[in-house]
Chain A
Amino acid sequence: MLLKVEGLNTFYGNLHAIWDISLDVGEKEIVALIGSNGAGKSTLLKTLAGCIPARSGRVVYRDEELRLRHMRSDRLVKKGIVMAPEGRRVFPRLTVENNLKMGAYTRPKKEWTDSFTRVYDLFPRLAERRGQMAGTLSGGEQQMLAIGRALMGDPKLLMLDEPSLGLSPLLTEKIFELIQQIRDQGTTILLVEQNAVAALAVANRGYVLKVGHVVQSGTGRELLSSTEILRSYLGTQ
């Protein structure tokens, strides 16, 4: 097991956002976290990325228990837990190449070349536009850059927050293909997605969240075939 979370609780001030959540992420899996707006998916991801402190619970990563107090993003990135935040959030006035360099921030320079090759192979479009300001890229290209930038940190666990947000169906399909490709290369992916059907179609396993609780879990196929889940929690027919 790559990541094991037990009884995790996160608060925004007095607001209890994540309630006793437990989940497992196996090596080289795509695990999808799905749920409607305000279910706590992004909060859970941010907690695991060290952007929001967890108040209680247990997080075991590669057989090592992470102390909650020490879960800070810079330390987690060094350990190989990297998040591509929601809304792409590329650095608009840095070039594509400098954006990618920012992703490799915690790693020694001599290791950058392999990561650059990997990212440019996955996203040839970024190679073509390496000197261009990231803010001038199209939405899809920015999403590729956001994922590419996260890959530059050589993650063992890549956490993607809403990668299909604001993309056309065609581009969404392309992004999910790429996500599978990244998994096939050996990177484990924890995926938060509103587009539940697309996410569950590529996921090995999934967790359905509702108001900060896990209400259902199973393989992607199981969750996808349960019309009850799709209707009750995800608002699809």
Chain B
Amino acid sequence: MQRNKRFFDLKRILPLLLAAAMYAAPLAITNQYVLRVCVYVSIYSILACSLNLISGVCGQVSMGHAAFYGVGAYTSALIALSFGLPWPICLLAAGVLSALVGLLIGTPALRLQGGYLVICTVGFNELVRLILLNWVSVTRGPMGLTNIPRPRFFGVAIHSGRQYLYLSMTLLLIVYITLRNILHSRFGRNLRAIKEDETAAETMGIRVHREKVTAFAIAAGFAGMAGSMLAHYMLYINPNLFIGDFSTTILSMVVLGGMGSMPGSVAAATLLTVIPEALRELDRYRMLIYGLMLICMMLGKNIPWDTTPLGRAAARLRGRVKIARESEHGGKD
């Protein structure tokens, strides 16, 4: 009980401090290129967090997330171009349509498991790319959609890099908080149970398939919103932005960040967006080194850190903090 009364509880204050720092940081950034990378970090973080819900938390590995990103981007751009509707409506429409497509694909696909599901989602990604490429009358095919209007709020168009960064960060924050609340809800617990043991979850009375499809649709919806953000930021989109390779990148972010960890997904999305940019100077060796780094990072995740001197030191530190806390609470908690 005592803990609730403590105002300066680090666990409560830290997220607020981080959010404050996040909102203050763009004021210090003047370089347009850095701002641009930061916007991409926010968009990719949304993608990674949303994929984490279905692949990390619920354990259903999907390699077709870029398809929903594309559906969202095209939906939003087409609505804005055809009807001139304001961006928030385009954003919502992108989210809803992507979620519906997720529902449509997820319902049969999530009856499959493991490798079969992966192949199925890869196929779906390719299908969406081909539709975007060949349905020229609507999507303008390989030429892509141009002149997508900028988001406007109260008659003022967003145009500077910093404004875009604030917008994308706010969207990320909303998505992050929503997903975090989902994780701590009954639904989130069901998803974790399904990942742990589907049969056991079923015997508890959980409708396993329905929960999986719901999570898939939610993830698809948020990916669609990220797509909308991208379309109205780049002002130009083409089908090549939503190929299967990119789905693999999003999945690497989820795996690197830790399956099921939302802060991990954001951190990994940041890392995997910033590293290729930082390596630009290496020119043609860039992707080679990026690939090697990715392999090393994945291998590094498998090292039993607890048994290394570093891990033992960290454990000692954690133990000390825990003991200090317990004595502070007088043993009752």
Contact = CB atoms under 8 A, between A and B. Distances in A.
B212 interface: no
B116 to A, nearest CB: 17
Contacts of B204: 77, 102-103, 105-106, 149, 153
Say what secondary structure dominates the interface of chain B.
helix
B203 A102 contact: no
Interface string B212-254: 0000000000000000000000000000000000000000000
Interface string A83-110: 1110001111110001001110110000
B117 to A, nearest CB: 20
B330 interface: no
A73 B201 CA distance: 10
B188 to A, nearest CB: 11
A177 to B, nearest CB: 24
Categorize the interface residue count of chain B.
Answer: 10 to 19
A84 B190 contact: no
B275 interface: no
B206 A82 contact: no
B196 interface: yes
B192 A94 contact: yes
A66 interface: no
A85 B48 CA distance: 35
Contacts of A82: 203, 205
A74 interface: yes
A234 B203 CA distance: 28
A46 B153 CA distance: 57
A58 interface: no
B205 A93 contact: no
B206 A74 contact: yes
A183 interface: no
B215 to A, nearest CB: 16
Contact of B206 (A49, A90, A94, A105): A105
A4 interface: no
Nearest to A89: B200
Interface string A69-85: 00011101110001111
Contacts of B206: 74, 102, 105
B202 A102 contact: no
B193 interface: yes
Contact of B196 (A49, A91, A101): A91
A105 B196 contact: no
A83 B203 CA distance: 6
B199 interface: yes
Given A85-B200, A89-B200, A91-B200, A74 B207 contact: yes
A184 B67 CA distance: 57
B189 interface: yes
A80 to B, nearest CB: 11
A153 B186 CA distance: 15
Contacts of A149: 204
B197 interface: yes
Contacts of B201: 91, 102
Contacts of A72: 207
B205 A91 contact: no
Contact of A93 (B196, B199, B202): B196
A51 interface: yes
A157 B289 CA distance: 61
Most buried by A among B196, B199, B204: B204
Contacts of B186: 105
B198 to A, nearest CB: 10
A78 B207 CA distance: 12
B115 to A, nearest CB: 21
Please give me the 10 A-B residue pairs with the lowest Cβ-Cβ distance, nearest first: A77-B205, A89-B200, A91-B196, A106-B205, A74-B205, A83-B203, A74-B207, A89-B197, A73-B202, A105-B204
18 contacts: A49-B203, A74-B205, A74-B206, A78-B205, A82-B203, A84-B203, A89-B197, A89-B199, A89-B200, A92-B196, A93-B192, A94-B193, A94-B196, A102-B204, A102-B206, A105-B190, A105-B204, A153-B205
Given A91-B201, A102-B206, 11 more contacts: A51-B202, A73-B202, A89-B200, A90-B197, A91-B193, A102-B193, A102-B204, A103-B204, A105-B186, A106-B204, A106-B205
